[in-house]
Amino acid sequence: MVQLSLPQQADEAEPSSSQHLPGPTMCQACGQKQAKYTCPACSSRSCSLDCCRAHKLGSGCTGKRSRTAHVPMADFSDRELSSDYKFLEEAGRAGEVAFRGRPEGTDCAPPERVRSLLKAAGLRHVDLRLQMPGMTRRKANTSKYDHKRRRLSWCMSWHFPAANVDIFDREVDEHAKASDLLKAHLAMDMNTLRKGLAGRASVLQPYRAAGVENLHILMRAAFCPASQPVYHSIAPSMSMSSQLARKTIIEYPELLVLLPDEIADYSSQEGATTVAYSGVGQSTPACTIYQQLPSAVAA
């Protein structure tokens, strides 16, 4: 028997391969037109320049492919290799341009004012350390050396913990005594105080009542943990130049003024401190070192 092969009906035809293709991708910005462009940064699809700009404004996308993003080895291709090579070339070229464009004799040494200050401090056996320009303590430091008078003026900070008050002295003569400086801050006439300073005078009343001779003046030591500060004792009757000799100072001296009953919160020990300046280690005579007790810190 001969079997005839009849053509299939149209409704029974198999779906063509074109029916399995994905449809056109629509613009993710407007959603109305077919997308033409792909964002290199986030792969977002857009149809025009206006939609591309709208995408950047709305999402904050830069539109630039990240040249330092991690690419798995499975996805690493010649495109990524070429991009990395060009990136390294640009980095090397930028370094060469910066090196060639640096003016000779500048940006390498501190200004003359700073050099004079460091030299004057070194001649007075003070290990003065300065921070990088722009840092808070560096900007607040007004210490300077007067060539005509051959005098060094210190910027100093005073902290009164019982009153929670900080006072800055912008120019303190190196031969001034700590007791005279402290008296100047405590002996302010209430009738001559400018507006805004009356409150400071009132909170310093406990120090004024105790008397300068009964107060304890300490200076914070350098390179100590912030949680465990160490202090040097300051003799009120001696000049600041003798008090700062053989000590390390970061930018300017920080002085702490304690009431008679507050000194009990600090442990003391006799000893000598050693600092290095000009490559030579030097030691002070016996000096009392104070450190706040853990119980006082917790309180």
Question: How much is the average pLDDT of 20-47?
Answer: 83
Quote the percentage of the chain above a pLDDT of 70: 75
Is the predicted pLDDT of residue 43 greater than 50, yes or no? yes
Which of 177, 117, 110, 111 has its CA nearest to residue 151? 117
Cβ atoms 233, 287 nearer than 8 A: yes
Cβ atoms 232, 255 nearer than 8 A: no
- Per-residue pLDDT reduced to its tens digit, 262-283: 888 777 766 544 433 333 344 4
Is the predicted pLDDT of residue 14 greater than 60, yes or no? no
Q: Which residues contact 100 (CB under 8 A, 6 or more apart)?
A: none
Cα-only R_g, the chain:
36
Question: How much is the average pLDDT of 58-73?
Answer: 84
- Other Cβ atoms less than 10 A from the Cβ of 142: the count is 15
The model scores a pTM over 0.95: no
- Per-residue pLDDT reduced to its tens digit, 114-152: 899 999 999 999 999 998 888 888 999 999 999 888 999
- Answer with the residue of higher pLDDT: 109 or 231: 231
Question: Domain coordinates of the chain in residue numbers?
Answer: 24-101, 112-298
Q: Quote the mean pLDDT of the chain.
A: 78
CA distance 289 to 233: 6
CA distance 105 to 111: 11
